[in-house]
Structure 1
Amino acid sequence: MPMYDYACTCGTRFERMVPSWSSPAPDCPDCGATTRRRPPSPSMHGLAAPPAPMTSAPRSWEGLNNGDRDTVTHWRRAVEARREFEARHPEHRQRRDAIAAHEGRFERTPLTYRELASRAATSGDANQAAAEASRDRRTDPRPRDEL
């Protein structure tokens, strides 16, 4: 016998094993009113995986296929789905810092405003701190002939 989900107008939801799909819906166990069959839950349709994390989203214009409309639309929807997921499940929320620079030397490791502020705390000059961060990212362990 298959198991089906039922809902009542009083707010009660329950599962029951019934002989077949064509069997009449059972009465509500709380108020005795007639119930209606609910559609199966989304997990039965394969939507149990969480949306892609924000870290997988592109960080540059080139990553968006130079502004291709379909690519931008895809990532906008993916980010909105992730935000809705994080709003429902705060334990999966990812820390996101505002990005000060993400191109050139900062393409692989973006410069966040948090890092910029900590670097500029001693000198008080954000331009000098950004130049220092760029110099730190310039060092590449590979020899010049391999680049």
Structure 2
Amino acid sequence: MPMYDYTCTCGTTFERRVPSWSSPAPPCPDCGAATRRRPPSPAMHGRAAPPPAMSAAPKSWEGLNNGDRDTITHWRRAAEARRDFESRHPEHHTRKEAIAAHEGHFERNPLTYRELATRAATTGDANKAAHEATQARKTGER
């Protein structure tokens, strides 16, 4: 039995299963007046959302469930989907920077080579610059 959407002049809209497409329109359930069939609402299956950002991918062996094949395959496919998405929609492209350090104090806020070079420009020493960046991360600065 097909289901159709109906509307009444009193403003009521409703769905009703009828025996066939040629069945007469049922009366309005609110006022009893004659109704007319209206175009159905579109069915919304699934969703339209961009693939997860590359930053969401795991960056450690533990994040990949210690090398679980299914997890690796999932993230490889997600990365491919993201690359395809970014090639079609360049406004969603995320800029990547080379990471100098990503462990310890830099786990949540990685040290980029750009930041390291900027800090080293004043002292001329990359080791001192890395130490300054570590101290800044400890105090919550950037």
Question: TM-score if structure 2 supplies the norm length?
Answer: 0.58
Secondary structure of the structure 2 residue equivalent to 1:100: strand
Q: Please state if 1:109 is matched with 2:117.
A: no
Alignment correspondent of 1:145: none
1:92 equivalent in alignment to 2:107: no
Following TM superposition, by how much is the alpha carbon of 1:139 offset from its aligned partner in structure 2, in angstroms? 3.1
Q: C-alpha distance in 2, partners of 1:106/1:123?
A: 21
CA distance in 2, matches of 1:62, 1:104: 16
- The CA deviation string for residues 105-147 of structure 1, in whole angstroms up to 9 with x for no partner, is 111111111111111111222222112111221237xxxxxxx
Amino acid paired to 1:57: A
CA RMSD of the aligned region, Å?
Answer: 2.2
Deviations 1:38-67 (A, max 9, x none): xxxxxx864632111122122333333333
How many pairs align?
97
Match of residue 29 from structure 1:
none
Cα drift, residue 72 of structure 1: 2.4
Q: What letter corresponds to residue 123 of structure 1 in structure 2? A: T
Once residues 130 and 67 of structure 1 are traced to their aligned partners in structure 2, the CA distance between those partners, rounded to angstroms, is 31
Please say which structure displays the higher CA radius of gyration: 2
Residues 135 and 91 of structure 1: CA distance in aligned 2, closer, same or farther (over 3 Å) = same
Unaligned 5+ residue runs, structure 1? Answer: 1-43, 141-147
Q: Secondary structure at the match of 1:122?
A: helix
2:129 is aligned to: 129
Distance 1:88 1:45, change over 3 A: farther
Normalising by structure 1, report the TM-score.
0.57
Q: Distance in 2 between the 1:76 and 1:116 partners?
A: 30
Post-superposition CA distance 1:60-102 (Å, at most 9, x none): 3333333333322222221121111101111111122111111
